[in-house]
């Protein structure tokens, strides 16, 4: 992985715009979680942009889409979940999309395109974040094929790079 990156602080207007976009996409009150007066830094890398809120790697941007990182525990705790069996953990942790047979249950309501956190059934530990390919109501009836498109997972480039910023 390339360690070349560019890091700079965003202006208040751009910060507010990004945080508003994320809050709408995730359907959460982001201001209540991170505060209204925050410093937002952007770290540009060869695989996307990491957004640091008060020096914590809480968000990342791929193209125009902005997602939370798995390190943003307060945000991840607000998201709907897909709980997977222990047999699916290895695949999810390697970036595989979440397939219907590996899902034990869903927690919370979501629509197509919403961000869903993938957790293991034994410990409830967040393994990945993805975009729902079905609504929660539809997903319960799906018996085969992918249900959640993987966007970020433990040990991916985003995870690894963000870890270097927090050490």
pLDDT tens digits for range 69-117: 999 999 999 999 999 999 999 999 999 999 999 999 999 999 999 999 9
Q: What pTM value is reported for the model?
A: 0.89
Spell 76-98 as b/e; 16+ CB within 10 A means b: bebbbbbbbeeebbebbbeeebb
Strands, sheet with 103-107, edge to edge from the N-terminal-most edge strand: 98-99, 146-153, 126-132, 115-120, 80-84, 103-107
Does residue 131 contact residue 116 with C-beta atoms inside 8 Å? yes
Q: Long-range contacts made by residues 16-21, C-beta under 8 angstroms, separation at least 24? A: 18/51, 18/59, 18/61, 18/66, 21/66
Q: Which CATH class is domain 76-153?
A: mainly beta
Residue ranges, CATH 3.10.450.120, the chain? 6-72
Residue ranges, CATH 2.30.130.10, the chain? 76-153
pLDDT at 38 over 60: yes
CATH number among 3.40.1740.10, 3.40.50.300, 3.10.450.120, 1.10.10.410, domain 6-72: 3.10.450.120
Structure tokens given for 39: 């410093």
């Amino acid at each position: 992985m390339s360690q070349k990156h560019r890091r700079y602080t965003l202006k208040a207007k751009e910060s507010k715009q990004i945080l508003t976009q994320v809050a709408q996409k995730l359907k959460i009150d982001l201001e209540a979680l991170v505060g209204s007066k925050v410093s937002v830094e952007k770290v540009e890398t060869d695989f996307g942009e990491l957004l640091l809120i008060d020096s914590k790697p809480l968000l990342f941007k791929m193209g125009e889409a902005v997602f939370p990182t798995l390190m943003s525990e307060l945000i991840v705790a607000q998201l709907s979940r897909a709980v997977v069996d222990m047999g699916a953990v290895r695949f999810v942790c390697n970036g595989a999309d979440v397939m219907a047979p590996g899902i034990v249950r869903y927690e919370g309501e979501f629509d197509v395109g919403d961000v869903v956190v993938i957790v293991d059934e034994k410990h409830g530990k967040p393994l990945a974040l993805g975009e729902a390919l079905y609504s929660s109501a539809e997903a319960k009836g799906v018996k085969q094929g992918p249900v959640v498109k993987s966007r970020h997972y433990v040990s991916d480039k985003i995870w690894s790079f963000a870890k270097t910023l927090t050490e």
